[in-house]
Each structure stands twice: as structure tokens, then as C-alpha cells.
Amino acid sequence: MKITVIGTGYVGLVTGTCLAEMGNDVLCLDLDVSKIKILHEGGIPIHEPGLLEMVRHNVEAGRLRFTSDIQESVAFGDLQFIAVGTPPDEDGSADLKYVLAAARNIALHMDDYKVVIDKSTVPVGTADKVKAVIAETLQQRGVDAGFAVVSNPEFLKEGAAVEDFMRPDRIIVGADDERAIKLMRELYAPFTRNHDRMIVMDVRSAELSKYAANAMLATRISFMNELANLAEKLGADIEQVRIGIGSDPRIGFHFLYAGCGYGGSCFPKDVQALIRAAEETELPLKVLQAVEDANDAQKNVLLNKIKHRFGADLSGKTFAVWGLAFKPNTDDMRVAPSIVLIEGLLALGAEVVAYDPVAMTEARRVFGERVGLRYATSPLAAAQDSDALAIVTEWKEFRAPNFDALKSALKNPVVFDGRNMYVPEQMRQRGFEYDTIGRR
Ligand SMILES: NC(=O)c1ccc[n+]([C@@H]2O[C@H](COP(=O)([O-])OP(=O)(O)OC[C@H]3O[C@@H](n4cnc5c(N)ncnc54)[C@H](O)[C@@H]3O)[C@@H](O)[C@H]2O)c1
């Protein structure tokens, strides 16, 4: 099939590449010419395990190309995937300006039947807006071309995006146009050969399913975080509680980890957008509002622990921070808890030495030149002569550090672990003062 993917970010580039991997001809469009330049030079603009190799393989095979030419991209694909950003607007609702601009661009240049597929995470009713924009633009042009708008929300996880796309749990297609549904079935059949995992439903339910999934996952995290804080007060151990409840098949073990708050490009904005959408219907989502409030508070939990231990004036003190990306295996720092911690430490007069295996370039972009903030080339170098260590992202390389070397590098053997990576008893035996999220 001939496919255009609009937007070459975390979702668009993975979508385009994986569709090419199955033998389709794919053209990826991005208006950010710096991204297209990187792609033309054989690189990729993001860190995503396995993606670079797959991009190169498909480019060499002639199935994957990149452009910033809108006219070329519209002419190319019978299927036009919209995978552009939907950042929060000022009030937290999803800003649809990129999605609607992409739709308008398609309508400005199309002359024959197109299936326009919303892959971006968009509020209920967006497909209707996309449809209206395309119909209006075609009418203004006096062009009588048929089209269908399909909702196909994406469920991939950054850090495991290629694997998730190639082996999806489910593919949700919201559509009411039989011709479009048939094309979507054909497109996705190679991804679901083992058994059919495509769920076809009405457009609005498909749009809501994506928000519902992220809201449910965020709820589990905030629930565990609040419980962890309570466990600390009550002298219980959240890790024991996690095992105790996760073994109930109705609950399960996934996504039950307490930590220093969720971040990233999806949960915070999608939770907010769903809350705002519900408010517009005058049916507030009270549970979800609490989820968001709990998460905002949780992002300060490490800073509060540090203040409790070292006092509210941190001038003259230096803190090592391990982990800047919002989660492991990505360089994405959007709404990362590390930002809240580092800003908090700097505001209290502390110096920060940060380390992350892949997100350091992104961190320099996010923070710019900041007095008091330095970057180290290794975890141990960050710890060297620091007053304490704070762990924010659970990268594998932090799982089993050389604890003796870490202890001698730090001025005080104090570790604040926002991801509960080590066994508290063992840390105490190694001579560390070890503060966790809800562990005894
Ligand atoms: N990142 C994730 O893990 C993830 C997972 C599932 C769903 N989503 C959703 O997918 C969408 C995209 O997310 P992302 O993380 O890939 O965003 P991103 O910011 O990484 O990428 C979006 C890209 O779209 C480009 N763009 C914007 N307007 C354009 C236009 N009119 N024409 C061509 N290109 C344009 C931007 O330059 C950018 O490169 C969002 O709605 C997001 O919520 C993201």
C-alpha cells in the first residue's frame, strides 16, 4: 500500500518505519526541516531502541522516504496518517491546531479518494472536526474527491515502541466507512497473523478508548504512590503490599510501582485533556482530578525528603541526580519528574550534577545554560564529592552499581531513591542511609 505519515516524532516515525518493514511504500512528512535533514543524512531525531536499524534497512530497500514537501506527501499516500503532536492548550485541553492544519493541508492538495487516519491522541469529536475541515476546504477548491476519516489511536510505549507496534496487543479502528475499514484490515493483517487483534468500533468510542487507557494507567500509579506515602507513615513496606495485591488476577502486577511521579508526553497531558473534556460536559471526573493532584504532589516527594534531611537552605550543597528522561530507554524529557527535582534543588541554592545515559543532549536543550547545573559523563562521576544522590529514572545501568565506589565517591553515603531500585536492608548493610518511596 502507499502510505503517507504526517509527523516524524515518536509515533509517526515508528509507524512509518514499521509499516515499511511489512512491505508498504511509505513517505514520512515533517514540517520541521531539521528532522528531515537528520533522516536524509541517515540518522533519526529521537532515541528509540531498534528504530535506527529498521529505518536504515527500509530506506535502503527503497520503501521508506522522508520529505517536507506537503504537495508531494499528499499526492503519495492513499492512506494519510496524521501523527502530529496534540500538546495541552492553556487550560489543559488538547490543542488541535497541528491536527487540523495537517487535515487542511491534505484537503488543499488531494484530487482523489483518501483515507485520513487520526493516529494522534485526540479528544472525542476530533474526527468530526477533521471531516468538516476537509469537506470545507474541498468545497472551496471546487474539488469533488471522496474521503473517509478513521480514528486509529496508538498504544505504543516509548522505549519499546518498535516492539509494541510490530506486536500490538490490540489495534483499535474507529470508523463507519466500509471501504476504509477494509483498507485498515488489509493494512494491519500482517501485524496480527497469530490471531486477529483488530477491534473495529465507532469513531467516538475509539477516540475515548485511548484516553481511558492512559487515565487508567495513571490512576494505578497515583494510587500506588499515595499508598506508598501512607505505608511510610504506618511502618509498612509498599513492595510487600505490591506483591500482596498484584497476585490477585483482578489487579495484576503491571503498573503497580510506587515512584516519584509520572511524566512524559502522554499521561500528564492526556489526563488533563480528559478532565477538561469532562468539565465541558458538566460531568467532572473526580477520580481523575485526584490522580492528577496526587501526581503533582508526588513529583515533589524527593525534594521534600532532601529538605527534611539537609534543611531548606541547600546553598553550598551538591546533589547528584541519576536519570533525566521521564522513563528508561528514551531521551524524552517532556514533563519529566527530574525537571521538578532539579528546578527545586537549584531554587534552594544547591548545585546539581546530573547524569543520564541518553537524555543529556535533550537536558541541555530543556535547561539551557544554568548556574549550578552540571552534567557528568558517568554515574560515579556525578556522585563524586556530592552531598547525596537522588535517583529519578530506573535505567538498567543503575540497577547494580559498584556500591563501594559509590560510597567513597559521595561526601555522605546518602541515597534518595525515587524508583525503589535496591533492597533497603542490603543498602543499610553496605553503610548507606537509604531513603525510598514507601519501603521500610
Ligand atoms: N510519544 C508517545 O509515546 C505516544 C504514544 C501514543 C500516542 N501518542 C500521541 O501521538 C501524537 C504524536 O506524539 P509524538 O510523541 O510522536 O509527538 P512529537 O512531538 O514527537 O512529533 C510530532 C511531529 O509532528 C510534526 N508536525 C507538526 N505539525 C505538522 C504538520 N502539519 N505537518 C507535518 N508535520 C507536523 C512536528 O514537527 C513533530 O516532528 C500525540 O497526539 C501523542 O499524544 C504519543
pLDDT tens-digit profile of 43-66?
A: 999 999 999 999 999 999 999 999
- Euclidean distance between CA atoms 177 and 202, whole angstroms: 10
> Is 260 one of the annotated active-site residues of the chain?
no
Q: How high is the pLDDT of residue 193? A: 87
C-alpha cell at 159: 522505549
**Separation of CA 151 and ligand 1 centre (Å):** 15
CB 427 within 8 A of CB 408: no
Q: Is the Cβ atom of 8 under 6 angstroms away from ligand 1?
A: yes
CB 297 within 8 A of CB 224: no
Overall pTM > 0.85: yes
Q: What is the pLDDT of residues 381-432, one digit of tens each?
A: 999 999 999 999 999 999 999 999 999 999 999 999 999 999 999 999 999 9
Q: Is the Cβ atom of 6 under 6 angstroms away from ligand 1?
A: yes
Q: Is the Cβ atom of 74 under 6 angstroms away from ligand 1?
A: no
**Separation of CA 95 and ligand 1 centre (Å):** 12
CB 337 within 8 A of CB 296: no
Q: Is the Cβ atom of 32 under 6 angstroms away from ligand 1?
A: yes
Q: Locate cell 545515559: which residue?
A: 357
**Separation of CA 237 and ligand 1 centre (Å):** 39
**Separation of CA 190 and ligand 1 centre (Å):** 24
Q: In what order do the strands lie in the sheet containing 318-322? A: 373-375, 351-355, 318-322, 388-391, 414-417, 433-435
Q: How high is the pLDDT of residue 194? A: 85
CB 175 within 8 A of CB 181: yes
CB 164 within 8 A of CB 11: no
Residue from 34, 47, 84, 109 whose mutation best tests the ligand 1 pocket (most atoms within 8 A of CB):
84
Residues 6+ positions from 5 with CB-CB distance below 8 Å: 12, 13, 15, 16, 19, 26, 27, 28, 29, 77, 81, 83
The protein residue whose alpha carbon is closest to atom 19 in ligand 1 is: 85
The protein residue whose alpha carbon is closest to atom 23 in ligand 1 is: 7
Q: Is the Cβ atom of 264 under 6 angstroms away from ligand 1?
A: no
The number of beta carbons lying within 10 Å of the beta carbon of residue 251 is 13
Read off φ and ψ for residue 61, nearest 5 degrees. -75, -5
Q: How high is the pLDDT of residue 440? A: 86
In the three-class reduction of DSSP (H, G, I as helix; E, B as strand; rest coil), residue 192 is classed as helix
C-alpha cell at 389: 544522590
C-alpha cell at 277: 473534556
Say what angle helices 337-347 and 301-310 make with each other, to 10 degrees.
Answer: 30
- Supply the mean pLDDT for the chain: 97
Q: Locate cell 564529592: which residue?
A: 385
CA distances from 17 to 58, 115, 165 (A): 7, 19, 10
C-alpha cell at 353: 550534577
In the three-class reduction of DSSP (H, G, I as helix; E, B as strand; rest coil), residue 47 is classed as coil
Residues of the chain with pLDDT under 50: none
CB 408 within 8 A of CB 377: no
